[in-house]
A and B are shown apart, each in its own frame.
Chain A
């Protein structure tokens, strides 16, 4: 069998190799120069389009921003800032699915990125996927932030807590707020925000602690006074509530919520038959007044169509009306008789609660009696 022809004649390989390597070196230099020129041009174009996109987004023109940022990305596909801004622009333009797709790509490359997780969390929140949003928020909170990480994390906890509260997930929001409080120095302005969210989450005792702690460092802090007042009010501590709320209203500009709560607390103080430090005669007068108020409410409720509309509720209302009528007749026996007072008031509170259940929310003195009935003060001193 004939041998394959040699590739090169003997002795020519070194020269040929040298020439080829020299050629490669020269070509490398030339191509490097061309590539650098090209990359500089691309970088310039990318930056220009990105700047335009940023401006458009700041001006609220999401569509324009999306087009500009896409142009920027065509020249710099590796720039995660461009993707993030495009993701935000898409999110603002209501194109969450596409935004998510880009961000998931970024997340795959950098799963610990706080900003990418945050953007994904916001998209999920916008779509109502709260559980998913919560997961991304947590990833963002525990993720990497290049600057001012503790502050970023606190901000995100607040954002997540607000989201959860918007979706009536009070327990979950409360957990976030508790975790948040552990990372915050006491007495900071953020403390008050946390207290307000705790109020919204229904964690009144912790909110009270936060506000009173804040008041220890600044007794004239109106927000803390109003918050402490509301927290006390919601816990049924109307005396403390009146005290805080009155100071809040006195010190600051009109705070509608505080003023309303103060008015309610005043009304409670006015009608409360269980208030301490009142004379026996006054207590009996208030009990009799409470019976009258409840009787009138029940009578109104019976005369109007009961909301529940069933016979059982109607007969319960009639029975309560009869019990109230009986209590009115026993008014003479209430002096210095805490058991009798308690029994009568028990009927009054039951009547107010039944009226609210069947005939809608109470107002004025009825509401005050209802609150007294539900509060921890509903016992004869």
Chain B
């Protein structure tokens, strides 16, 4: 026995002696998802506490801080945050969504723990001091970072670490947002980019456990007290469509402002990075002197808007000021999220549209809370361009299925306006500005799937019967110019080429049945199968019969590798890619 064989034998013996695993691999992964959800939930609870303590310490216990604090707190916090970000935590910059996507697609799911700590501290300082940013996206990154750290600590494979980061992201977002469905959808829409049964279960478990932990510690009350919704009259849907237009246009203004200012500020000398968050803080503080509602995440103001506290003129003004304040905070590189400001802008616009509608058609206008809620979804669809999440988020936050129709109308209008006036979605454009080419989830969603029917060729004629003899077959194909023929034997398809037939006829096998002389049974495809599926079924140089789903004996055409390549080239030409 060779040394290698002996070593292999020893290995086998060790493996036989090793204890059997407690759980199967899938079960272990699901268990890990729950644990990650719990850790992310705990981290988010701490993050929320940190924001609140910072707010109490820097802005005082009243909803409206004194003028001195209003002006000084965000500016001072901006200085400190800039120092921390530039010197210690450079990857804590930004909202957290793109950073998580980068980790998944570029760094094999690895997010340094240092970044998690940095994001936690800097975002809590910024949001707590009044910068116009929200805690949701940082929570997403913190959750993803914790999951990544756990994965690396457990020495999981690279593939598993890449999968595990989105679990933490979903849990972090769900815990911060108190909406597990919206969180799962957002992570799938924006981070993972595709529905996969293997990951979906784990993402859901993680999000649910994150939410449960957050509710355990912070209470289970919904984020907003949404007044009862009623659609008074179908004509009211026009008002919601108008809200979609207003929300779509406001989204475009915000996107242009952020995407236009950010590269300019990034291009400034490096030393200005120490001052940019402080200057942004001054701007936010100055705006806060006139409208304290725009400072911080702004949940209280959203709640008040839902309960009709503000006039429609003030609501419109608040939406405008929030756009300015958020743009200032975000483009300066201050860590913090865009979810809450987006919801704020939407809520104010929704409530403002309700105010105008009340003036024009008081009997047709429903409660202000419903408009504010729909406005949130509208801005979400317009700014963050996650249409599914925007709809389900409103349903989840509002807890009223009756609101679905207004939400769908308004969100669709806003989404279409935003797409037509700002082609690249926010997160894609931000990553491109950072020199990273992350996959665009919007493009992925809308990418046309090529199917067999796009590539298949008409069936060759004649189709031969498997029970026929070679001699009969030669007679049948005599009038045909085709080089190969398909042989059908009760739905089992084979292929036979003309030279083979002629050779068999000449070599004395003329009376042999075709099914004994033709090749192996071919796999079949259907017209609606994807070309990717067809390629997987195909051996080198093989041709596949395309058959009817209701009758495998009915031949609809054939597809070959060349046909598939040709179909891809044509599709490429349609979207402007030349050979």
Contact = CB atoms under 8 A, between A and B. Distances in A.
Interface string A1-12: 000111111110
Contact of A6 (B25, B300, B306): B25
A24 B159 contact: no
Contact of B307 (A28, A35, A45, A101): A101
B449 interface: no
Interface stretch (B41-49, B124-132, B423-431, B551-559): B41-49
Contacts of A5: 157, 159-160
B15 A16 contact: no
Interface footprint category on A: 35 or more
Contact of B52 (A6, A23, A38, A105): A38
B56 A31 contact: no
A131 B366 CA distance: 20
A20 B367 contact: no
Max chain A Cβ within 10 angstroms of own Cβ: one of B20, B307, B369: B307
Contact of B31 (A17, A27, A31, A67): A17
B63 A74 contact: yes
A98 B225 contact: no
A104 B229 CA distance: 11
A14 interface: yes
B88 interface: no
A55 to B, nearest CB: 16
Contact of B217 (A16, A35, A49, A108): A35
A71 interface: yes
A78 interface: yes
B63 A70 contact: yes
Interface in A9-48: 9-11, 13-14, 16-17, 20-21, 23-24, 27-28, 31-32, 34-35, 38, 41, 45
A7 B367 contact: no
A10 B18 contact: yes
A47 to B, nearest CB: 12
A13 B35 contact: no
Nearest to A16: B154
A77 interface: yes
B157 A7 contact: yes
B30 to A, nearest CB: 11
A102 interface: yes
B15 A98 contact: no
B308 interface: yes
A32 B225 contact: no
A23 B35 CA distance: 10
B568 interface: no
Contacts of B155: 8-9
B228 A104 contact: yes
Interface string B18-54: 1111110100110110010011001001100100110
A297 B21 CA distance: 116
Contact of A4 (B42, B49, B159): B159
A7 B308 contact: no
Nearest to B35: A20
Given A10-B18, A11-B19, A74-B63, A24 B35 contact: yes
Interface string A51-85: 00000000000000001001100100110000000
Contacts of B23: 13
A45 B62 CA distance: 9
B490 interface: no
B28 to A, nearest CB: 5
Contacts of A31: 42, 45-46, 217
Given A6-B25, A105-B225, A35 B45 contact: yes
A28 B31 CA distance: 18
B368 A101 contact: yes
A13 to B, nearest CB: 5
Given A7-B157, A13-B21, A71 B61 contact: yes
B309 interface: yes
A97 interface: yes
A349 B32 CA distance: 100
Nearest to B23: A13
Contacts of B53: 38
A27 B39 contact: yes
A49 B218 CA distance: 21
B521 interface: no
Contact of A38 (B21, B49, B154): B49
B8 interface: no
A10 B25 contact: no
B368 A10 contact: no
B25 A4 contact: yes
Max chain B Cβ within 10 angstroms of own Cβ: one of A16, A23, A49: A16
B150 interface: yes
Interface string B392-411: 00000000000000000000
20 contacts: A5-B157, A8-B156, A10-B18, A23-B39, A31-B42, A31-B45, A31-B46, A31-B217, A35-B45, A74-B63, A77-B225, A78-B221, A97-B308, A101-B227, A101-B306, A101-B367, A102-B225, A105-B226, A105-B227, A108-B227
Given A4-B25, A10-B15, A10-B21, 8 more contacts: A13-B23, A14-B22, A17-B22, A23-B39, A24-B38, A32-B217, A98-B308, A101-B308
Interface of A: 4-11, 13-14, 16-17, 20-21, 23-24, 27-28, 31-32, 34-35, 38, 41, 45, 49, 67, 70-71, 74, 77-78, 95, 97-98, 101-102, 104-105, 108
